[in-house]
Amino acid sequence: MNEPIRVSEEVSDAVAAGRPVLALESTIFTHGLPRPRNVEVAARGERVARELGVVPATIGVVDGVGVVGLSGGEIERLAHDDDVAKASVRDLPVCAALGRNAGTTIAATTLLARRAGISVFSTGGLGGVHHHASTTFDESADLVTLAHEAIVLVSSGAKAILDIPATLERFETLSVPVIGYRTLDYPGFYVRSSGHRLTSRIETPGQAAEIFRASQALGLPASVLIANPIPEADSLDPHDLDAVIEEAWAAAEADRISGQATTPYLLDYIRRATGDRSLEANVALYLNNVRLGARIATALASA
């Protein structure tokens, strides 16, 4: 069996030299976006980071190996693989043994990024607690990994299909700080506010870097979550979205969708029901998070 992790030379050199590096996940283009938009957005995210002077490290699994710093060809390969897996942390050893290709979730991306020495990661929406989790125990592995792997994670809140108050409660229990970027309203993924309040906010990327440094100095194991709202011009109407989400859940139940298939199914339903407006919102918030993550990475590297 090959080594389970391979770090690209560009990423390895940048980390060793203390230059800013930004981790980017792969499930957004393996499972989150339709073709050919998926490859376009993956390339654009990397380009945004580079324009801000930051090395992008897109992370995925190729032939069983966790790759930190996918090449353009590897991104194309994963994005067009009809059998590509969706790998969380528990799946990485299985992919390694079986030589599988996989897009990495937030949990798996965080773990691989930390093993490569990367401290900042930008994504779209977080995993969290699903509705009815009190009986199904359906909670994302992102929660547990973020409690034990320390990274600055920039997102636009938990995905809109989740139980947001329960997710925030779990983060509190797990001692994972959630900090609003220029807001005290926890973002609602496609909308700027989920209707739930946060206790802390920051105004600059430098403040995010300082919080992470303080967390590390205290020896705390958890990540620092930066909640960055979708730009106003790109957000959806909250009332319309609520109705579509209810329809999506009803359809998933009727089709007996469960487990890892749930999130892609629901997001695809929402995309079709909104006439692709949710897709455009997803892309806009993702690129906005890449910009903020790149600036935080720069601030962290400049200390």
Q: 80: closest CA among 23, 25, 34?
A: 34
For 76, 185, 264, the CA distances from 111, given in Å and listed in that order, are: 23, 28, 22
pLDDT tier, 191 (very low <50, low <70, confident <90, very high otherwise): very high
Active site residue 25: yes
For 211, 221, 260, 268, 287, the CA distances from 217, given in Å and listed in that order, are: 10, 11, 36, 42, 30
pLDDT of residue 1 exceeding 70, the answer is no
Q: At what angle do helices 37-51 and 277-301 cross, to 10 degrees?
A: 30
pLDDT above 90 as % of the chain: 80
Residue range(s) defining the domain that contains residue 77:
5-301
What's the domain count of the chain? 1
User: What type of residue sits at position 108?
Assistant: A
Provide CB contacts within 8 A for 165, sequence distance 6+.
Answer: 196
Which pTM value belongs to this model? 0.94
Active site residue 86: no
pLDDT in tens, 284-298: 999 999 999 999 999
Residue with tokens 């300082």: 210
CATH number, domain with residue 116: 3.40.1790.10
pLDDT tier, 131 (very low <50, low <70, confident <90, very high otherwise): low
Q: State how beta strands 102-104 and 55-62 pair.
A: antiparallel
* 15 contacts 68 by C-beta, under 8 angstroms: no
Q: List the beta strands (DSSP E) in 41-81.
A: 55-62, 65-68
Catalytic residue among 25, 74, 139, 149: 25
Catalytic residue among 86, 139, 149, 159: 159
